[in-house]
Amino acid sequence: MYASFKAIGAYVPSKSLTNRDLEKMVDTSDEWIRQRTGIENRYIAAEDEYTSDLGAKAAELAISRSGLAKEEIDMIICATITPDYLCMPSTACVIADKLGISNVMAFDISAACSGFVYALNIAKAFIESGLKKNVLIIGAEKLSAIIDYSDRTTCILFGDGAGAAIIGTTEEREASLLDIHTSADGAFQDFLITPGGGVKNPCSPDVIDRHLHYLKMKGNETFKLAVNTLTKDVTRILEKNSLSSEHIDFFVPHQANFRIIDAVGRKLKFTKEQVVLTVHKYGNTSAASIPMAINDWYESGKLKHGDLMLLDTFGGGLTWGSALVYFNQRD
Ligand code: ACO
């Protein structure tokens, strides 16, 4: 029995934040943002709309598309770096309650932008070991809550949103999660960091005054490492499975920056048509970015049952991963 990608869903908040809006908030320009990142717009959750609300809405859609009854879901994983609560309860537990699902294993994972691919890997392991049958995985972020809107180097990049998938079972290898590779290197932990609010720098007036509770990024260093690591990782997973870029229907990279996607796509010889691109619409939504991109391609009619996707991701930790996944949702 193999694990299989049975359904996708996503949710995008209604309020948009354009480059023009950001021009009024910090010293930046629409032209700079487009040229350096490819981002034109991002969406921001309402004040009383939390990560669990975004995640629950994406999950409802994925569950309805899967045709499963909620009672058939036996595990929930939520990948997020913006949980509703810092320590407990987990956002997965809050989402489970909002969905009306109880008595199942539910937990969060923290792997920043790589969270969805990490969750996919965990779901695969639980399903293929026979422990679980239908796992709901969610990538949900309210990044606007940890962004410093006076810091032009980060506030232009990020947006809010959620994506969710149902991972079930199949007997066919050509309908499975063919292979997943996930990894990390903590030596680069300061490249992407929220220094305050945890036990090292607990919440205090000083932490808040110094803006330590906000996301900080060494953008240029992260950029260079991302291009090299992703190219190597994707090459490795293709070679290991005796595949090359022409066997892939859609390359679904983490949507952080058009220039990273373009550089990796070119090195791997993907055509424009193969590369899934949504960063211009949503900005970087961290763990939500890959499932939101898959959902966009599905809803626009490009992604079809049986297509082979190559996912790849890179984020804080530093963490990264890649996955070869057949899309096994039936309309
Ligand atoms: N508007 C105008 N100028 C700006 C802005 C802005 N919004 N931001 C920075 N600049 C300036 C800088 O101050 C700098 O000016 P200087 O030369 O006078 O010092 C200049 O632009 C160049 O800055 P760089 O940081 O070198 O710009 P770069 O080309 O690297 O682009 C960016 C910055 C977009 C952040 C890029 O480095 C990037 O995308 N990095 C990778 C992000 C990523 O992939 N993160 C991983 C996932 S995120 C996660 O896990 C949560």
Tell me the per-residue pLDDT of 77-87, one tens digit each, with 9 for 90 and over. 999 999 999 99
CA separation for the pair 190, 318 (Å, rounded): 9
Amino acid in the structure at residue 119: A
pTM above 0.85, yes or no: yes
Q: Is the pLDDT of residue 147 over 80?
A: yes
Q: For 276, what's the count of Cα atoms within 13 Å in the CB-facing half-sphere?
A: 30
DSSP-based three-state secondary structure for 138: strand
CA separation for the pair 164, 167 (Å, rounded): 10
Q: What is the pLDDT of residue 38?
A: 98
Q: What is the pLDDT of residue 294?
A: 98
Mind listing the pLDDT tens digit for each residue in 265-290? 999 999 999 999 999 999 999 999 99
Q: What is the pLDDT of residue 52?
A: 98
Residue 159 in contact with residue 15, Cβ under 8 Å?
Answer: no
State the pLDDT confidence band at 331, using cuts at 50, 70 and 90. Answer: confident
| 326: β partners | 308
| Closest Cα to atom 9 of ligand 1 | 153
Q: What is the pLDDT of residue 149?
A: 98
Q: Which atom of ligand 1 is nearest to the CA of 155?
A: 7
226 C-beta closer than 6 A to ligand 1: yes
Walk me through the domains of the chain, giving residue ranges and CATH numbers: 2-172 (3.40.47.10), 177-326 (3.40.47.10)
Annotated catalytic residue, options 78, 93, 113, 155: 113
User: Is 254 in the active site?
Assistant: yes
Q: What is the pLDDT of residue 67?
A: 97
Annotated catalytic residue, options 254, 257, 295, 328: 254
What's the 157 CA to ligand 1 centre distance in angstroms? 9
CA separation for the pair 103, 96 (Å, rounded): 9
What's the 282 CA to ligand 1 centre distance in angstroms? 17
Of 59, 7, 5, nearest to 288 by C-alpha is: 59
Residue 194 in contact with residue 40, Cβ under 8 Å?
Answer: no
111 C-beta closer than 6 A to ligand 1: no
257 C-beta closer than 6 A to ligand 1: yes
Average predicted confidence (pLDDT) for the chain? 97
Mind listing the pLDDT tens digit for each residue in 34-70? 999 999 999 999 999 999 999 999 999 999 999 999 9
Residue 78 in contact with residue 138, Cβ under 8 Å?
Answer: yes
What's the 146 CA to ligand 1 centre distance in angstroms? 18
Mind listing the pLDDT tens digit for each residue in 106-119? 999 999 999 999 99
Of 43, 140, 161, 16, nearest to 82 by C-alpha is: 140
260 C-beta closer than 6 A to ligand 1: yes
Helix %, strand %, coil % for the chain, to 5? Answer: 40, 25, 35
Query: Long-range contact list for 222-227, CB < 8 A, 24+ apart?
Result: 222/191, 222/192, 222/318, 223/257, 223/259, 223/260, 225/188, 225/191, 225/314, 225/318, 226/256, 226/260, 226/314, 227/260, 227/263, 227/264, 227/267
Q: Is the pLDDT of residue 209 over 90?
A: yes
User: Is 284 in the active site?
Assistant: yes
Query: Considering only 145-149, 229-233, 316-320, which range has the smallest mean pLDDT?
Result: 229-233
CA separation for the pair 292, 12 (Å, rounded): 8
Mind listing the pLDDT tens digit for each residue in 162-207? 999 999 999 999 999 999 999 999 999 999 999 999 999 999 999 9
State the pLDDT confidence band at 128, using cuts at 50, 70 and 90. Answer: very high
Of 293, 315, 292, nearest to 229 by C-alpha is: 315
| 170: β partners | 2
| Segment 128-142 mean pLDDT | 98
Percent of the chain surpassing pLDDT 90:
97
| Segment 230-250 mean pLDDT | 95
Rg (CA), the chain: 19
* Cα torsion angle, 151, 152, 157, 162, sign: positive
Q: What is the pLDDT of residue 108?
A: 98
Phi-psi region of 196 (alpha: psi -120 to 50; beta: other; left: phi over 0): beta
Q: DSSP labels for 164-176?
A: EEEEEEES-GGGS
